[in-house]
Amino acid sequence: MNKLPKKFVDRIASNIKKYQRIAVTQQKSDVAEADTVTLVKDILAEVFGYEKYEELTSEHQIKATYVDLAIKIGGKLRLLVEVKSAGAELADNHLRQVIDYGAHQGIHWVILTNAVEWRLVRIYVANQISHEEVCRIVLADVNPKNDDHLQCLFLFAKEGLTIDAMDAFHQQAQLFNKFTVSAIMRSEPVISLVRREIRRLFPDIRVGNENLSQLIENEVIKRDTIEGDTAKEAAARIKMAAGKL
């Protein structure tokens, strides 16, 4: 976990309740999108710490349109923010829109929000454009005294952006997940350890590593942690780490 700056923690404690109340009120009133953009800009400034008139702009053009909000630090574009009305449910087509904006601008991080719900998304551009949601918060549920909530809020904040906390958090999330644990459980050292433990507890049982490996893959571990590109990437990372050791 990041050691959070006192300035950030104090700002959250001072301002979060006010904007939780306003966001919920606007959601119930189903205000227009333009009003939600104004609220999001205030939240980015007073909760997340961006300079309202220097670092937040709605004048950033992409193709033939303007993105709802762009965040620039030192004149450099760092984040795009797509805003929907507070009463609207965030949908896949909204996400595709902001991902398309980000990919076109060469930006790896975008935010999709309706002021109530906030999603932080990582964009990948290789042979094709793909994405991964890294963090999601519902503003009304945030407790400023909860460390996990603060850590997630920090990813959206200026302090987090300036030290690339999003990338560090994303890297940790890539390593510590079900795919990594699944790959470790299927690795030769772990299978050998399980085999030795079975023989210790039940001396009459004879089982080989290959049979045990098949049992673990087919009947113990969920298939979604074994199949697909993410599972293959996790297995490759484990293999590489083992090679270094």
What single DSSP character describes residue 88?
A: S
Q: For the chain, what is the radius of gyration of the CA atoms?
A: 23
DSSP H or E run through 40 = helix 33-46
CA–CA distances in Å: residue 143 to residues 44, 133, 151: 18, 21, 11
What single DSSP character describes residue 112?
A: E
pLDDT tens digits for the chain (245 residues)?
568 889 999 999 999 999 999 999 999 999 999 999 999 999 999 999 999 999 999 877 776 677 889 999 888 888 899 999 999 998 888 888 888 878 778 888 889 999 999 998 888 776 777 777 888 999 999 999 999 899 889 889 888 887 565 555 556 555 666 777 778 888 888 888 888 888 888 888 888 888 888 888 888 787 777 777 777 777 776 777 677 66
Rounded to whole angstroms, the Cα distance separating 196 from 205 reads: 11
> What local confidence, expressed as pLDDT, does residue 101 receive?
79
> What local confidence, expressed as pLDDT, does residue 170 receive?
53
Rounded to whole angstroms, the Cα distance separating 69 from 40 reads: 9
Task: Determine the length of the chain.
Answer: 245
Q: Which two tokens stand for residue 42?
A: 């205030």
Contact predicate 44/50, CB 8 Å: yes
CA–CA distances in Å: residue 217 to residues 140, 175, 205, 212, 236: 41, 20, 20, 9, 17
Helix crossing, 147-156 with 165-175: angle to 10°? 120
Other beta carbons within 10 Å of 196: 10
> What local confidence, expressed as pLDDT, does residue 172 receive?
59
Pairing verdict, β 76-83 and 109-113: parallel
CA–CA distances in Å: residue 176 to residues 3, 65, 180, 184, 245: 19, 39, 6, 11, 19
> What local confidence, expressed as pLDDT, does residue 30 receive?
92
> What local confidence, expressed as pLDDT, does residue 173 receive?
55
CA–CA distances in Å: residue 61 to residues 65, 70, 105: 6, 9, 10
Rounded to whole angstroms, the Cα distance separating 51 from 179 reads: 39
> What local confidence, expressed as pLDDT, does residue 175 receive?
60
CA–CA distances in Å: residue 102 to residues 96, 105, 157, 213: 10, 5, 19, 42
> What local confidence, expressed as pLDDT, does residue 64 receive?
64
Cross-sheet strand order for the sheet of 69-73: 56-57, 69-73, 76-83, 109-113, 117-125, 129-138
